[in-house]
Chain A
Amino acid sequence: DAKTTQPNSMESNEEEPVHLPCNHSTISGTDYIHWYRQLPSQGPEYVIHGLTSNVNNRMASLAIAEDRKSSTLILHRATLRDAAVYYCIRGAGGGADGLTFGKGTHLIIQP
């Protein structure tokens, strides 16, 4: 049971920022929030993860609500190559336990 809720699909324009929401209202205090994306015909690709504080990396930013019940993945300037299914996953931050993928958000980028 993935225990996260994401919109089925979102659409954005190229070169504009994209905000992908995720609800995880039953998250435990030790669960991390992970984001992966899957481009067509490829394996999932790690995007970012965090616990409580907002996180930034070269791909994206992750904004985590103060109560941790929701988070937002931010792509600062979308390109056509960002069109993919984005998965928000809650899970332990370490160990060899598998991450449970739920229903992600299909992001469509319009030129």
Chain B
Amino acid sequence: AAGVIQSPRHLIKEKRETATLKCYPIPRHDTVYWYQQGPGQDPQFLISFYEKMQSDKGSIPDRFSAQQFSDYHSELNMSSLELGDSALYFCASSPRGGALDSPLHFGNGTRLTVT
């Protein structure tokens, strides 16, 4: 079965640069979530989108922005990168706005390293 696809798998950037992470949800999933997981940390919710509109916001820095496109894929844009942004970034998707019987399906993440 198709899974959530994230690209790139690995990304290395320098401080103050920008980065764009992409997420392709499972077909027919209309809801996308972004999570950040620092080294040795638990996943932290950043932001979610339903039907191309922002739905919920977590601990996303102002330097980050995200959007969901008409084909339901999503992009997380990160500017003025800091060393502390080095982390695994996971995207998850679910169908029907995250309905009661619809769990989140996670991708395998993008590992961002800021040097």
Give A contacts to B, CB under 8 Å.
32, 34, 36, 38, 41-46, 49, 87, 93-104
Contacts and interface: CB of A to CB of B under 8 A. Distances in A.
B31 A101 contact: no
A43 B48 CA distance: 17
A46 B105 contact: yes
- Which 9 pairs between the two chains have the least Cβ-Cβ distance? A43-B106, A98-B45, A96-B55, A46-B103, A96-B50, A97-B56, A94-B100, A101-B43, A93-B100
Chain B at the A interface: mostly helix, strand, loop or mixed?
strand
A49 B103 contact: yes
A73 B97 CA distance: 26
B106 A96 contact: no
B79 interface: no
A110 B48 CA distance: 38
B62 interface: no
Contacts of A45: 106
Interface size class of B (residues with CB under 8 A): 20 to 34
A101 B44 contact: yes
B35 to A, nearest CB: 8
B28 to A, nearest CB: 15
B38 interface: no
B107 interface: yes
B69 to A, nearest CB: 16
A36 B55 CA distance: 22
A93 B99 CA distance: 7
A103 B49 CA distance: 25
B106 A44 contact: yes
